[in-house]
Amino acid sequence: MVEVLIAAALLVIAILGMFLTFTDSQKLQLVSERSTTMAHIAQREIERIEGIPYYQIGLNSAPSPSTDPKNPDYYVIAGSPPSFEWNRATGATEPLDIDTANGTIPPVQSWTEGMFSGQIYDFITWATDTNCSPGCPSSQDYKRVTVGVTLNSELSPGIVWLSSVISDPSALPGTPGVVNGTLGNPISNGSTTCTNSSGQQVQCESPIDAGNPNTFYLHDCAATNASCPAPSASHPTHQTVGIASGGTCTTSQSAAQSSTNTTGCPMPDLMDANPPAGTATTPLYQYSTDQGTNGYIGGRLLQPLCSGSSGCGTGQSSDCNANQSYSSSLLPVQNEFWVTAPLSSSITLTGEGGISLFTETDNGAPAVVSFCLEIYDVPPSGTAGSLQDLLAWPPVALGGAGYVAATDPASGSNWPTSPSEVSYIFNFRGSNGAVTIPAGDRIGVRVWMLAESNTPLALIYDNPNYPSEIELNSQ
């Protein structure tokens, strides 16, 4: 009997041990399964944020610090702005990017996956890279995205962290680009060379290399200014073309001698050889507040040449063959016109040129765009150099060009849906040969566009981070 009892006791102990082992194993399996699910949720959130336009990657409100170590907000440090301890091993912190105007990311949101649920904590911080080259900003070199995921369960593996860094896709060095080791943009230097497939140094582009490049930066101030300071505020669209509502701007040169007949006349913006004023931290403002303030990072909106849900472009450069002349019927929201100061000496343009333009579609909408450009000889007006009676002494069209980029089959768009640089070369004279603009006249550039859908574009310029420019080569 004693032996039987001892044997039974040993058997019970063995079975109990096996049961406890199975129970612990099941708990470990559940924790592992939940940890995998949480890691999947974190990875999915990182990928979602990486697909958002760069200027919208920011917190739409500030997170509140927590005293609970199990809460990711425990690593938020109050301040103005608040900061976040992104490196919990070293205690390194970075300021949070709180952008109530453009930020689209909430600090915390709920998630559900099958039978599991919990919270996602997003932290967007500004990273300063001390190893970045001297041309980089002194701070805010790129954005660090840190995601913390928690689980609503007693068998939670704790916070699952995942992090990534995102740089501005349109970022440029603090000074203009580099051309063969010298300052400047390659589009404005005919001596720029590249290495071909045979290892030889050759000219990068043809025919942009022919002639002497004349670079003009695009500004957001009236062409009557000697130079343009950095923009200091957002504002409605400048009336660079057309006649203002209620204006008495005349097309008669004799009538234009009286200032009462030139009210409401258009005033072009300035383009000159001076890069945009300011520094890498100079704010970018919106130049079309009358057309809305959401959906674009800054600059001015350019509406399609004709309205309607279907637009009016065909996605061909021939879309630009009409509307070259400068007239009183042009609409400011559909056109932008820049002119130089009066020329100190005559200049003979070869017809070759190039443009480097920062741009995006409004609200990131896909669009097939025909981008149009016309070059003008702007003669002196009745009041020499005033530009106050532009329609009485109208610009003379010298030729133009259309640009239609290849359509991306994946997106169905040929224009950037987030801030990007579009650069291309053109010949605005075709077979007409060179043309001379006399001293005292101005060079004018007008742009407009047509699209297969009624989608506006944002033209981003007159900011050190977005130095849009045009080059016209001369003999």
DSSP 8-state symbol, 99: -
The span from the CA of 130 to the CA of 126, in Å, is: 13
DSSP string, 364-412: G----EEEEEEEEEE---SSTT--TTTTTSPPEEEEEEEE-PPPBTTTT
Q: What 3-state class would DSSP assign to 282?
A: coil
CATH class, 178-191+202-474 region: mainly beta
The span from the CA of 430 to the CA of 417, in Å, is: 31
19: Cβ–Cβ under 8 A, 6 or more apart, which residues?
none
The span from the CA of 120 to the CA of 264, in Å, is: 55
Beta strands in 255-311 (DSSP E): 269-272, 300-302
The span from the CA of 97 to the CA of 142, in Å, is: 11
Ranges of residues in the chain whose predicted pLDDT is under 50: 134, 173-190, 205-207, 308-310
Q: Which residue has the tokens 């900061």?
A: 83
- Quick one: how far is CA 437 from the chain centroid? 34
DSSP 8-state symbol, 257: G
Amino acid letter at 10? Answer: L
The span from the CA of 100 to the CA of 81, in Å, is: 12
pLDDT in tens, 328-381: 999 999 999 999 999 999 999 999 888 889 999 999 998 889 999 999 999 998
Residue whose C-alpha is closest to residue 280's, from 145, 423, 168, 164:
168
Helix (H) and strand (E) counts for the chain? Answer: 1, 23
Query: Which two tokens mark 270?
Result: 């300035």
Asked if 459 and 163 count as a contact pair (C-beta separation under 8 A), the reply is: no
Q: Which sequence spans correspond to the domains of the chain?
A: 31-166, 178-191+202-474
> What is the reported pLDDT for 177?
39
The span from the CA of 467 to the CA of 118, in Å, is: 45
> What is the reported pLDDT for 108?
96
pTM score: 0.60
pLDDT in tens, 106-124: 999 999 988 889 999 999 9
The span from the CA of 279 to the CA of 302, in Å, is: 26
Could you tell me which residues are beta bridge partners of residue 150? 119
Asked if 472 and 339 count as a contact pair (C-beta separation under 8 A), the reply is: no
- What percentage of the chain reaches a pLDDT higher than 70? 84
DSSP string, 123-182: EEEEE--TTS-TTS-SS--EEEEEEEEEESSTT----EEEEEEE--TT---SS--EETTE
393: Cβ–Cβ under 8 A, 6 or more apart, which residues?
253, 256, 379, 380, 381, 382
